[in-house]
Structure 1
Amino acid sequence: MTERSRTTDRHYERAFVRSFFTSPTAVDEDDSAKMLRRAAALRGMEAPDVWVPDNEDATAPSMRDEGVENIREVVAEHGGDFPGEIHPRVVWHRDDPATRYEGFQQMLAITDPDAGAVEHIDGFVIPEVGDVDDWKKADEALQRVETEHGLDPGSLSMSVIVESGEAELAMGDLRTEMGKPSNTLERLFLLVDGEVDYTKDMRAMTPTGELPAWPELRHNTSRGASAAGLIAVDGPYDDIRDVAGYRERMRENRAKGMTGIWALTPNQVVESNTAPLPPKTGRWLLHAGGRDIDLDREDDRHVYRGDAADLDALGDDRYRLRLGDDERELEAEELREALVDATSYVPSMTDIVDSMEEFEAAKENGRGAIAMTQSATLDIDGVTVDVEADRMWDEATYQAAKTPITLFQDVYAHRPDQREAFAERYGEAVVERATEVGDT
């Protein structure tokens, strides 16, 4: 079981969860536990941070009893070797006492010490929760499971899937409810969005029948998790072939403070495990036509060839620059300033570590702020321009830059099965420096 390191009484040792991977607990085949066995064998970047044997939506109602037995068998046999956390999903519903009781019975059976699985079970995922009183019912069910099996109080975590307006509003109550003597809601771990059922609950409609994007729900879940010391996870991205769309969704989420996302396939697990990590190499972006465009690296130049921007040398140090629909004639210095404004740099792992180490050294020498210079040679339509920009680093800048390194350190500590991949990606020297920087 994962111990919590407590600045409050509710913080898990893990600060980040990147991937939340669900597997059917029983399928209509000769080996009904086939999908569980495949998931239990995942390692490295294909293995999720949180594996969810799903005995709710992913498993037919007629097979859920068999699903419970399969969880017990597979987790007892393979759970000790699985590199992530294991959180089975059971049935629950805010409006149905019979379904809640069924969920309690599933948790009770899965954690039976005689079955041998409970020592590898980190907690449970509770779907279809309602207002905060319903969250307390789920918490009390877990209290009863722990009591009846002689488990340590609070040893089973509880993650909830936010699938209703009631649950969304309940996140605002957590700060005042957690820690009261009448509950053990400090066992909460993940807040997970379930956009499909949320759409149904909200009676939302789109012309095509596709799900709304629900950016408000994702923001509210991230905010609720931050306020309560929990971890936010986005819901499933159903178009499993749309890798670019999945990456874009994760990029948008990270800008909201939501690192984790549901994964439906091992390929999505690889994407969700990799995308939040600092990149191996830095890259320059050109802002043109309402979008950010990656510039290609060719030798010591960053090159753009396309229709969104044009640059022509007119002679006598004058140029014509077009970015999208904006076209201007500029002198050389004006051009450099315009391109500084129109470009940005995505730092690599090495860049971040270098900058943090330089700032830490400056702090040790009594300096509270330093200037970091970033320079590049841009090549747009065959015309090259040298640009250079300074960025002031102070304590606030340092702390903001520290977040991706803190993520990397968290993953490095809790997923030793991925360390070889990190060494291949970044190089052992950079990995070693990244694990040590950021202590000041």
Structure 2
Amino acid sequence: MSVSRNYEREFVRTFFTSPTAVEGEDDSAKMLRRAAELRGMQAPDVWIPDNEDATAPSMRDEGAENIVEVVAENGADFPGEIHPRIVWHREDPTTRYQGFQYMLEIADPDNGAVEHIDGFVVPEVGDIDDWKKADEFLTIVEREHGLEEGSLSMSVIVESGEAELAMGDLREEMGKPSNNLQRMFMLVDGEVDYTKDMRAMTPTGELPPWPELRHNTSRGASAAGLIAVDGPYDDIRDVEGYRERMKENRAKGMTGIWSLTPGQVEVANKAPLPPKEGSWLLRFDGKEVELRSEDGREVYDGDAVELEEASDGTYELEVGNDEFELDEDGLHEKLVDMTAYVPSMDDIVDSMEEFEAAKESGKGAIAMTQSATVVIDGIEVELSKDRMWDEATYQAAQTPITLFQDVYEHRPDQHEELEELYGSDVVERATDVGA
């Protein structure tokens, strides 16, 4: 079944939440005002004024008023999308009704905010019938206020086993005349409440990693033509851990991640983009070590891999506890297997342009050559490997470029930083290639 989508973005890198009302402050909306002023790489693709978990229950009425005030004043200049999170619960009709009332208030055109609001985020959903209830409330809100039907998107936070299973029903349900679920935009993981719902325990009390949930959310989003977003990474000082989490997610097809601070937003905005410079990796014992570039050579500085040349011209290669006696061809073959290249933005664009030119001349596949001089323990080894490019390879390589093009189209506030990073020539070519 073909699903008609109601939004333009292909990717969301950052999902940034802000409390809507802070108790004990002269200005309870101060966190909203700070978030509304974010620009460039510190501004998220999607901003979530959070009138649920981030805001105390006693402050939520004021929080809804703050959303209206701040978005009405600042929404026109905010560079990302704005999706307030309202209260909801699959087992509590009172909470669902309260969320409906907040949506009515926030979306009232007389309040001046709805023209800048792209949709709502619904937490704590259950089975697919519960998703339909939220969708029906949004339809009522649109009709009550004279808004175009389907103009407000709906995103859900997957925080229960019921919601996880519902993702498997979504593709079949979207597009039926009895609902407006084609308004769906993002599927967002909420691992904390999911852990509670699953009654899961770890010896340390830390959250389980839940790779299955992230895979299922990515798969559900792909099947329904939606966007998948990972949940929050609570250790805001662990930048490398945050980057590693995003790297694992991208291998599952999940580009977006929850961001708790402007610092995390900046990291998450940049992480999925192709690097400025290419780099070589040495792979061994389940690890990847980036080689140091020096004078056109790729140097390994560690001690887990050792290389020595014997008097008869053979080589002794030690990798951890394994030892190999190799001739020159054997060493080349072994190091080709142990190395990988991470292409730069310029490299990807070059390869795509070369393949496009070959395709225009009637060729269905071409060989792309990668070469490097790798240095281990002072011994230089010339490496060369060929990779066949066909249409499938081209389409796979196009994904990071499509991401870049999506960012460039929807985030003009980041143009200057992107040109500083890559150079104006590379940016221009990257926006044109694959079109």
Superposition TM-score, scaled by structure 2 size? 0.99
Q: Secondary structure at the match of 1:315?
A: coil
Contact 2:88–2:96 under 8 Å retained in 1:
yes
Equivalent residues in 2 for 1:143-182, closer than 5 Å: 143-182=139-178
* 2:15 counterpart (14, 20, 42): 20
Q: 1:188 & 1:237 partners in 2: Cα distance?
A: 24
Paired positions, count: 433
Alpha carbon RMSD of aligned pairs, Å? 0.8
Q: 2:415 & 2:179 partners in 1: Cα distance?
A: 39
* 1:74 counterpart (70, 74, 82): 70
Aligned to 2:212: 216
Q: Secondary structure at the match of 1:196?
A: helix
Q: Secondary structure at the match of 1:328?
A: strand
Aligned to 1:57: 53
Tell me whether 1:317 sits opposite 2:316 in the alignment: no
Q: Tell me, which stretches of 5 or more residues in structure 2 are unaligned?
A: none
Equivalent residues in 2 for 1:20-419, closer than 5 Å: 20-28=15-23, 29-419=25-415
Q: 1:111 & 1:396 partners in 2: Cα distance?
A: 44
1:213-236 per-residue CA deviation (whole Å, 9 max, x = no partner) reads: 000000000000000000000000
2:7 aligned partner, one-letter code: Y
Contact 1:49–1:85 under 8 Å retained in 2:
yes
Aligned to 2:424: 428
Q: 2:319 & 2:242 partners in 1: Cα distance?
A: 28
Q: 2:304 & 2:320 partners in 1: Cα distance?
A: 5
Q: 1:434 & 1:68 partners in 2: Cα distance?
A: 41
Q: Secondary structure at the match of 2:258?
A: strand
Q: 1:350 & 1:31 partners in 2: Cα distance?
A: 47
Q: 2:191 & 2:78 partners in 1: Cα distance?
A: 28
Q: 2:123 & 2:412 partners in 1: Cα distance?
A: 30
Contact 1:289–1:325 under 8 Å retained in 2:
no
Runs of 4+ more than 3 Å apart: none
Q: 1:11 to 1:315 in 2, by over 3 A?
A: farther
Contact 2:86–2:102 under 8 Å retained in 1:
yes
Q: 1:35 & 1:393 partners in 2: Cα distance?
A: 49
Contact 2:17–2:47 under 8 Å retained in 1:
yes
Contact 2:317–2:323 under 8 Å retained in 1:
yes
Q: Secondary structure at the match of 1:205?
A: coil
Q: Secondary structure at the match of 2:341?
A: strand
Q: 2:227 & 2:54 partners in 1: Cα distance?
A: 23
Q: Secondary structure at the match of 2:310?
A: strand
1:279-326 per-residue CA deviation (whole Å, 9 max, x = no partner) reads: 000000001232011111111111111122111122332111112222
Contact 1:189–1:230 under 8 Å retained in 2:
yes
Q: Secondary structure at the match of 2:74?
A: helix
1:382-437 per-residue CA deviation (whole Å, 9 max, x = no partner) reads: 11111000000000100000000000001000001001111011000000000000
* Alpha-carbon shift at residue 11 of structure 1 (Å): 5.2
Q: Secondary structure at the match of 2:162?
A: helix
Q: 1:325 & 1:160 partners in 2: Cα distance?
A: 49
* Alpha-carbon shift at residue 136 of structure 1 (Å): 0.3
Q: Secondary structure at the match of 2:370?
A: strand
Contact 1:168–1:220 under 8 Å retained in 2:
yes
* Alpha-carbon shift at residue 146 of structure 1 (Å): 0.4
* Alpha-carbon shift at residue 358 of structure 1 (Å): 0.3
Tell me whether 1:10 sits opposite 2:5 in the alignment: yes
1:254 aligned partner, one-letter code: R
Q: 2:135 & 2:241 partners in 1: Cα distance?
A: 36
Q: 1:95 & 1:61 partners in 2: Cα distance?
A: 18
Q: 2:6 & 2:150 partners in 1: Cα distance?
A: 12
Q: Tell me, which stretches of 5 or more residues in structure 1 are unaligned?
A: 1-6
